[in-house]
Amino acid sequence: MFEKFQTMFSDSEENYLKTIFHLERSLKDGVSTNAIADQMQTKASSVTDMLKKLSEKQLVNYIKYQGVTLTEKGKKTAAAIIRKHRIWEVFLVEKLDFNWDEVHDVAEQLEHIDSEKLIDQLDKLLNYPKFDPHGDPIPNKDGNFPLRDKQLLSNLKVGDIGVCVGVKDTSSDFLKYLDKHGIALGKQIEILEKEEFDKSQKIKIDNQILHVSQQIASNLFLKTKH
Amino acid sequence: MFEKFQTMFSDSEENYLKTIFHLERSLKDGVSTNAIADQMQTKASSVTDMLKKLSEKQLVNYIKYQGVTLTEKGKKTAAAIIRKHRIWEVFLVEKLDFNWDEVHDVAEQLEHIDSEKLIDQLDKLLNYPKFDPHGDPIPNKDGNFPLRDKQLLSNLKVGDIGVCVGVKDTSSDFLKYLDKHGIALGKQIEILEKEEFDKSQKIKIDNQILHVSQQIASNLFLKTKH
DNA sequence: AAATAAATTTAGATAAGTCTAAAAATAAGA
DNA sequence: TCTTATTTTTAGACTTATCTAAATTTATTT
Ligand SMILES: [Mn+2]
Ligand SMILES: [Mn+2]
Ligand SMILES: [Mn+2]
Ligand SMILES: [Mn+2]
């Protein structure tokens, strides 16, 4: 009846849940201890300890030596943290003039602040954003993520036209590269040529010609017209 | 030369510093172990442990059995935390429609977020407020607090007129009492009568007559005309 | 299938922060 | 001043989160 959900987990527990959530999406099948350790820059033994704890709290399904999956409760909790992280990122960019390459570290801290009203009001102030500054979807309060069909620039063919809607690599270096060359979310891009040999492309953006390497093209999401 | 001040202290260390700072102001002389323990709802033995740690980090002057005082470094650090706390409170009230009785707990969490840019930008967004929603002064980046002459309503005499500028008691119950009776910062109050026996007063606010008890009068700060 | 390699877990330590109970120091009262 | 009360510190224990090194399990190769 009275689902007092925000039973409060430690920052560390929340970070593990978030990491497992992301790994589950990208690695399809169950998430391994080592995968988590790598991602979190910690040791496998630490991960094992935490998995036991999360398992006891019904947040993950854990079988020794077999890796983990999130339970429904675990997914909801992870989504709530991701929601907070991304809403804060929008706030930092929209209201505090942060650049999109400098919001992540602060959001990593802010995502653990425990106040439902705070997030609700932020969400309202920002006019209920559906995507964060990197184009990543912001789950709603039920933990559902908005969908948007998007494709990597590297997967488009000559003649295609699309609008930038997200980045795969969110590193500061990559984002600054995009800034430097005038590539930003919302901008239209047309694929003019593709070089088969090194997969580099010639594209048109703001009526300028720009050459981008495979590395760039495979980290930029576009939404194509049609 | 390059004072990288924000060397990062733990939330717990920051909370102790803040508490000692406030106690030093109110208790004048050195702050005792028990005073800190009472204030923080913890045990004296825990306080002793922390005082040793803070002392090693040059944040407090600590002599066994003699209590503590903050060092300059300790004062600066405490002021920085109080600055963050109060700026966040202003933000919550001004931008997120929080009532002044519901901001403190969230600010207790937010004050530990470590990002100079975040606070600078918030400060700017809020137009560099000097006082928080309870009328408490917000120190500047150097740790200096703005002064404002204010007096408790209980110390004024019949005929005096003043403007509400702060509260001494910031409990939710007290603040809600004020809300209920239309008393808010910025409102003008005139003392009409004082009852010697129980120190209650008859005051005029918004052209309404209101009777307030000694308890109320001794927790409301006014700035008198002249 | 046996041997080897890789992944995972366990055992035992460490650090931060807290607690209880006992000891020591200081303050107050007779 | 001597005795008692209060305050403060110390000693030892516990929790959370982490680590290293060793043991165990699972996967891969001959
Ligand atoms: Mn991020
Ligand atoms: Mn993001
Ligand atoms: Mn407060
Ligand atoms: Mn306040």
- Given this model, what pLDDT does residue B4 score? 40
- Given this model, what pLDDT does residue A7 score? 53
| Cβ–Cβ gap B117/A110 under 8 Å | no
The CA B90 to ligand 1 mean position distance, Å, reads: 26
- The Cα A62–Cα A35 span in angstroms is 15
- Given this model, what pLDDT does residue B133 score? 98
Which residues of A touch chain B, with CB atoms under 8 Å apart? 92, 95-98, 102, 105-106, 109-110, 113-115, 117-118, 121-122, 125
Mean pLDDT of A140-150: 96
Helix (H, G, I), strand (E, B) or coil at B225: coil
Per DSSP, what are the bridge partners of residue A62?
A: A68
Query: What does R_g of chain B's alpha carbons equal in angstroms?
Result: 20
- Tens of pLDDT, residue by residue over B23-68, are 999 877 789 999 999 999 999 999 999 999 999 999 999 999 999 9
Instruction: Provide the H-helix boundaries in chain A.
Output: 11-27, 33-40, 44-56, 72-96, 104-110, 116-125, 172-180, 214-217
* Neighboring chain A residues of B98 at a CB cutoff of 8 Å: 117, 121
Give A226's pLDDT tier (boundaries 50, 70, 90): low
Q: What is the least distance, in Å, from the CA of B153 to any CA of chain A?
A: 33
Task: Report the distance from CA of residue A96 to the C1' of nucleotide D18 in Å, as an integer.
Answer: 35
- Residue A11's nearest CA partner among A77, A83, A103, A92 is A77
- Given this model, what pLDDT does residue A6 score? 43
pLDDT of A117 above 80: yes
CB B138, CB B131: distance < 8 Å: yes
- The Cα A42–Cα A51 span in angstroms is 13
Instruction: Name the stretches of chain B with pLDDT < 70.
Output: 1-7, 226
Length of chain B: 226
CA-to-CA dists, residue A59 to A19, A27, A65, angstroms: 13, 19, 18
Length of chain A: 226
Residue whose token pair is 């000694």: B214
Whether A172 sits with its Cβ under 7 A from any strand D atom: the answer reads no
- Residue B215's nearest CA partner among B197, B198, B195 is B198
- Residue A131's nearest CA partner among A112, A150, A113, A116 is A150
pLDDT of A166 above 90: yes
pTM of the model: 0.94
- Given this model, what pLDDT does residue B27 score? 77
CB B78, CB B13: distance < 8 Å: no
| Cβ–Cβ gap A92/B118 under 8 Å | yes
Give A29's pLDDT tier (boundaries 50, 70, 90): confident
- The Cα A124–Cα B183 span in angstroms is 28
CB A72, CB A58: distance < 8 Å: no
- Given this model, what pLDDT does residue A28 score? 75
CB B219, CB B168: distance < 8 Å: yes
What per-residue string of b and e applies to B201-212 under the rule 16 or more CB within 10 Å gives b?
bebebeeeebeb
Give A85's pLDDT tier (boundaries 50, 70, 90): very high
Q: Residue B191: what residue type? A: I
Task: Report the distance from CA of residue B51 to the C1' of nucleotide D1 in Å, as an integer.
Answer: 34
| Cβ–Cβ gap B109/A106 under 8 Å | no
